[in-house]
A = this chain, B = another copy of it.
Amino acid sequence: MQKFMYLCSRNTEIYLISYSNTMQIYKANILFTKERDQFEVIPNGYIAVEKGRVVDIYEQLPSTLASQPVTDLGDKLLIPAMNDMHVHAPQYRNQGIAMDLELLPWLQNYTFPEESKYSDTRYAERMYRRFVRDLWRVGTMRTVAFATVHRDSTRLLMNLFLEAGMGACVGKVDMNRNCPKALCESVEEAVSDNETLIAEYAKPNALVSPIITPRFVPSCTPELLQACGDLARKYNLPVQSHLSENRNEIAWVKELEPESRHYGDAYRRYGLFGDTPTIMAHCVWTDGDELRMMREKQVMVAHCPTSNLNLASGMAPIRVFLNEGVPVGLGSDISGGHDLSIFKMMVYAIQVSKMRYCQDKSLPFLTLPEAFWIATKSAGQFFGKVGSFEPGYEFDALVIDDSELNHDNYSLLHRLERFIYLGDDRHITHRFCRGQLIAEPKI
Contacts and interface: CB of A to CB of B under 8 A. Distances in A.
A87 B130 CA distance: 36
Given A130-B407, A338-B347, A407-B130, A422 B312 contact: no
B315 A355 contact: yes
A249 to B, nearest CB: 14
Q: Which of A96, A315, A405 has the most CB of B within 10 A?
A: A96
Given A100-B367, A350-B99, A367-B100, A355 B418 contact: no
Contacts of A54: none
A410 B350 CA distance: 33
A417 interface: yes
Contacts of A421: 95-96, 99, 338-339
A201 interface: no
A112 interface: no
A312 B96 contact: no
Contact of A97 (B365, B367, B414): B414
A366 to B, nearest CB: 9
Contacts of A410: 97
A216 to B, nearest CB: 20
Contacts of A99: 350, 368, 417, 421
A14 to B, nearest CB: 26
A71 interface: no
Contact of A365 (B312, B338, B351, B354): B312
Q: How many copies does the complex hold?
A: 2
A295 interface: no
A385 B98 CA distance: 30
Interface in A275-329: 306, 309-315
A314 B100 contact: no
A106 interface: no
A424 interface: yes
Interface string A329-371: 0000000001100000001001100110110000001011000
A314 B357 CA distance: 10
A418 B422 CA distance: 20
A22 to B, nearest CB: 38
A204 to B, nearest CB: 38
A163 interface: no
A309 B355 contact: yes
A139 to B, nearest CB: 16
Contacts of A347: 338
A327 B33 CA distance: 45
Nearest to A407: B130
A13 interface: no
A247 to B, nearest CB: 9
A259 interface: no
B355 A355 contact: yes
Nearest to A357: B312
A351 B310 contact: yes
Contacts of A188: none
Given A309-B351, A358-B314, A339 B422 contact: yes
Contacts of A358: 312-314
A130 B407 CA distance: 10
A100 B365 CA distance: 9
A49 to B, nearest CB: 30
A381 B237 CA distance: 59
A350 to B, nearest CB: 7
A373 to B, nearest CB: 14
A28 B350 CA distance: 40
A269 interface: no
26 contacts: A95-B418, A96-B405, A96-B418, A96-B421, A96-B422, A97-B414, A97-B418, A99-B350, A99-B368, A99-B417, A99-B421, A100-B367, A130-B407, A306-B351, A309-B351, A309-B354, A309-B355, A310-B354, A312-B355, A312-B357, A312-B358, A312-B365, A313-B358, A314-B358, A315-B355, A339-B421
Given A93-B408, A98-B417, 19 more contacts: A95-B418, A95-B421, A96-B405, A96-B420, A96-B421, A96-B422, A97-B410, A97-B414, A97-B417, A98-B414, A127-B408, A309-B354, A310-B351, A312-B355, A312-B358, A338-B347, A339-B422, A355-B355, A424-B424
